[in-house]
């Protein structure tokens, strides 16, 4: 059951596709009793209060720090370019206002709202969830259901089917800020190919452009780009360029000139251009909320599509702002007052705050406007939707420009609704073991909110990685739909051939390609049925009190449970099995060793080079023979691993991975197996 309560007059968010699913429209909660109404109290213009029992868990909120169970911190929906994914970070790049309270009663809450929201999940009072929107103009949806899974499915159905990438995008991608030339990219590819390291994509970060100008290519570093794209395609490599939200303000640069002429950029109150600096220095920002501007911006992708590009990542679209012209001037002025002084504590830290406050400053977000559905709306009121609407611009353009084909698209910034237009990567993490754990925890929370095509920068983006962290992270990364190794300028190079134990990396990575039939099938089934691909144990075993405490194991699709090792120097880990399972160990020699583990707590050895995973009873795992790119993988001839007596059936989704007739029933075949076997899918 879904209830909707409308407060004030919301700004449309594009989040809800099927508002009619909220069959019950309420005026408020006054007098309502029973079920979730016993748990929720609303004090208008103040907060929504939900009482939490000791054992209640709170799930959701998408891209946030901390646990799968979000209890014990404050999280804000307030999209931020924040590379500090710390325990005390309150907002990252996305806003996903959906959460589920699971306990004696299960209920869900969604705030359909573009503004800033604080979710105080037992921070101020351990037994209270407080939701404080910045203003009271939003639609509140309440979900009641027998299970968390049911509530999540209802939410997902209401907000629409998630983005589906092309199949090649399930291959491994190598990225770096930046590969500076075609020759460097060739070298990356060569090293992978000659070392038998599967690879499907190389990502181009900001330096492929001419002076950080979107929809240009640096002709010196990447001469004859279209031919280079073809050359790479012949090697089964997709080049995936980055697109930034800010457009360089430069006379003669056609994108800038055209957008300016048409009035498609965000404006200050007086109607003049809003200018702020990002990578190229002074830049302007397309008004993605304005339908024509969005269409115009989307059409720009064609410049690269026409050269054979079939995948993009949208970045800096919170939007990130280094500084605005006005603020920089102000700061320099204020700095004058500190000059020549004996600065005490307050002055000194005030000066640092001043300079460090240049970036992503709230006041700048309050200083420019959008033209949205005919209304002039100040940016901060829809700030959390900006990145989502950029992704929408791209996605809508792809449907117009290449209706027959899937284009890879994922973004840094996002909001509920954007899950229909693209995936997201989990932002600028660091080469920290705790960020491997965060990656594991964030995946199911994002899945709940519709972001199925997601993954983190494997090995860590900022800071220097270590060989063991890289390897352990790969052991988890092979299960994430988006599997990309990415790192920042100035950090240790972390292409996997940089490390000594190349055999171990190859073994793990090649296994990803053996898993592809299962991973792709499970992804597609989850996407098409509005289900989750990564699930916390608690969702599948709601009666199991222990399962709800497990923060570092996940269910992947219907058959697998994973328990990645994410402690440095550990040569094994504890695993909780909610039921008897078959454990597999991928040995260093590429062989799979298996054994049955009984339900309960287990300590499992897993050397650095060893991948472990678990097959659920009554389930099957179809494996391919592998390949050095997705195209090489034979999805028809399978080795099927099973656990359980008697016949086991597996609903197997296969398609060409390119076209968009997702729901064609021919894509599903049911595999019937008895024991492990080799088979050809019909």
Note the residues at the interface with its own copies (CB under 8 A): 57, 66-67, 69, 71-73, 86-88, 122-123, 125-126, 212, 277, 279-282, 322-323, 328-329, 332, 335, 338-340, 342-345, 348, 351-352, 355-356, 358, 430-434, 463-464, 466-469, 500-501, 549, 551, 567-572, 574, 576, 601, 603
d(CA 435, CA 413): 19
The total number of residues written for the chain in this structure: 682
- Cβ contact 473:460 at 8 Å: yes
CB of 6 or CB of 86, closer to its own copies: 86
Terminal-residue alpha carbon distance, the chain: 39
CB of 680 to its own copies, least distance (A): 42
Residue for token pair 């700095």: 335
Least distance in angstroms from the C-beta of 55 to its own copies = 8
Helix and strand counts by DSSP (H, E) for the chain: 15, 41
Backbone φ, ψ for residue 66 (5° rounding)? 70, -150
If the CB atoms of residues 320 and 452 are measured against its own copies, the closer one turns out to be 320
Nearer to its own copies, 332 or 376 (CB): 332
430 or 514: CB nearest its own copies: 430
Residue 47 makes CB contacts below 8 A (sequence gap 6+) with: 130, 131, 132
Min separation Cβ 277 and its own copies, Å: 6
Nearest distance from C-beta of residue 246 to its own copies, angstroms: 12
Cβ-count burial of 617 within 10 angstroms (0-12 exposed, 13-18 middle, 19+ buried)? Answer: middle
Nearer CB in complex with its own copies: 23/345: 345
- C-beta of 65 vs 152, nearer to its own copies: 65
- Whole-number minimum distance, CB 506 to its own copies, in Å? 17
Comparing CB distances to its own copies, the nearer of 140 and 566 is 566
- Cβ closer to its own copies: 591 or 603? 603
**What whole-number distance in Å separates Cα of residue 91 and Cα of residue 413?**
11
We find the least distance from the C-beta atom of residue 484 to its own copies, in angstroms, to be: 21
User: What are the beta bridge partners of residue 50?
Assistant: 40, 129
DSSP E strands, 308-413: 311-315, 323-324, 369-372, 375-378, 408-411
- Alpha-carbon distances of 618 from 30, 518, 560, 581, rounded to whole Å: 47, 15, 11, 9
CA angle 361, 366, 370 (to 5 degrees): 125
* Minimum gap (Å) between residue 530 Cβ and its own copies: 28
Beta carbon nearer to its own copies, 359 or 402: 359
Structural contact between residues 267 and 369, judged by C-beta atoms closer than 8 angstroms: yes
Q: Which residues, 6+ apart, have CB-to-CB distance to 571 below 8 Å?
A: 605, 606, 607, 608
Residue 22 pairs in a beta bridge with none
Shortest Å distance, C-beta 282 to its own copies = 5
CB of residue 147 vs its own copies: minimum separation in angstroms?
Answer: 20
């Amino acid at each position: 059951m879904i209830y909707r309560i409308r407060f004030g007059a919301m700004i449309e968010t594009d989040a809800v596709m099927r508002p009619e699913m909220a069959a019950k429209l309420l005026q408020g909660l006054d007098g309502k009793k029973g079920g979730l109404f016993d748990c929720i109290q609303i004090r208008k213009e103040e907060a929504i209060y939900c009482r939490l029992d000791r054992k209640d868990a709170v799930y959701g909120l998408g891209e946030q720090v901390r646990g799968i169970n979000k209890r014990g911190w404050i999280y804000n929906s307030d999209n931020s370019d924040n590379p500090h994914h710390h325990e005390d970070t309150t907002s990252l790049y996305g806003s996903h206002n959906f959460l589920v309270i699971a306990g004696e009663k299960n209920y869900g809450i969604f705030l359909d709202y573009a503004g800033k929201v604080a979710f105080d999940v037992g921070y101020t009072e351990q037994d209270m969830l407080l939701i404080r929107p910045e203003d009271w103009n939003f639609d509140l949806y309440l979900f009641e259901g027998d299970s968390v899974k049911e509530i999540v499915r209802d939410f997902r159905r209401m907000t629409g089917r998630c983005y589906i990438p092309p199949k090649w995008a399930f291959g491994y991608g190598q990225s770096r800020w930046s590969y500076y030339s075609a020759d460097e990219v060739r070298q990356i590819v060569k090293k992978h190919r000659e070392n038998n390291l599967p690879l499907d994509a190389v990502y181009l970060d900001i330096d492929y452009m001419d002076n950080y100008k979107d929809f240009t290519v640096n002709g010196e570093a990447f001469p004859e780009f279209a031919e280079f794209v073809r050359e790479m395609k012949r090697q089964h490599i997709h080049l995936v360029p980055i697109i930034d939200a800010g457009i360089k303000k430069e006379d003669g640069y056609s994108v800038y000139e055209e957008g300016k002429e048409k009035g498609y950029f965000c404006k200050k109150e007086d109607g003049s251009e809003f200018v702020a600096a990002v990578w190229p220095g002074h830049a302007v920002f397309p008004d993605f909320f304005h339908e024509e501007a969005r269409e115009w911006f989307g059409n720009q992708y064609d410049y690269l599509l026409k050269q054979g590009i079939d995948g993009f990542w949208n970045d800096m679209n919170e939007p990130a702002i280094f500084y605005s012209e006005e603020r920089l001037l102000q700061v320099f002025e204020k700095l004058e007052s500190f000059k020549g002084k004996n600065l005490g504590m307050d002055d000194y830290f005030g000066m640092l705050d001043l300079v460090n406050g240049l970036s992503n400053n709230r006041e700048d977000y309050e200083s420019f406007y959008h033209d949205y559905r005919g209304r002039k709306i100040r940016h901060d009121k829809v700030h959390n939707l900006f990145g989502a609407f950029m992704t929408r611009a791209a996605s809508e353009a792809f449907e117009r420009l290449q209706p027959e084909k899937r284009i890879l698209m994922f973004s840094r910034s996002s909001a509920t609704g954007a899950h229909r237009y693209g995936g997201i990567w989990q932002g600028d993490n660091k080469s920290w073991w705790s960020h491997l754990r965060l990656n594991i925890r964030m995946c199911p929370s994002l899945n709940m909110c519709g972001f199925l095509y997601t993954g983190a920068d494997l090995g860590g983006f900022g800071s220097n990685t270590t060989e063991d962290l890289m390897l352990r992270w790969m052991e988890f990364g092979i299960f994430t739909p988006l599997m990309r190794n990415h790192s920042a300028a100035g950090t240790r190079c972390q292409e996997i051939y940089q490390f000594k134990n190349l055999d171990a990396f190859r073994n793990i990575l090649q296994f990803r390609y053996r898993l592809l039939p299962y991973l792709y099938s499970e992804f597609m089934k989850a996407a098409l049925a509005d289900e989750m691909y990564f699930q916390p144990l608690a969702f599948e075993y709601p009666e199991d009190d222990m399962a709800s405490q497990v923060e570092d194991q996940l269910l992947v699709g219907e058959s697998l449970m994973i328990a990645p090792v994410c402690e440095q120097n550990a040569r094994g880990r504890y695993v909780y099995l909610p039921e008897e399972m078959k454990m597999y160990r991928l040995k260093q020699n590429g062989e799979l060793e298996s054994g049955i583990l009984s339900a309960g707590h287990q300590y499992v050895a897993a050397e650095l080079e060893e991948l472990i995973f678990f097959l659920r009873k009554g389930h099957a795992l179809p494996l391919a023979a592998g390949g050095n790119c997705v195209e090489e993988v034979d999805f028809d001839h399978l080795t099927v691993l099973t656990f359980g007596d008697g016949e086991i059936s597996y609903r197997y989704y296969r398609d060409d991975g390119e076209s968009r007739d997702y729901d064609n029933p021919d894509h599903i075949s049911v595999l019937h197996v008895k024991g492990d076997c080799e088979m050809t899918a019909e």
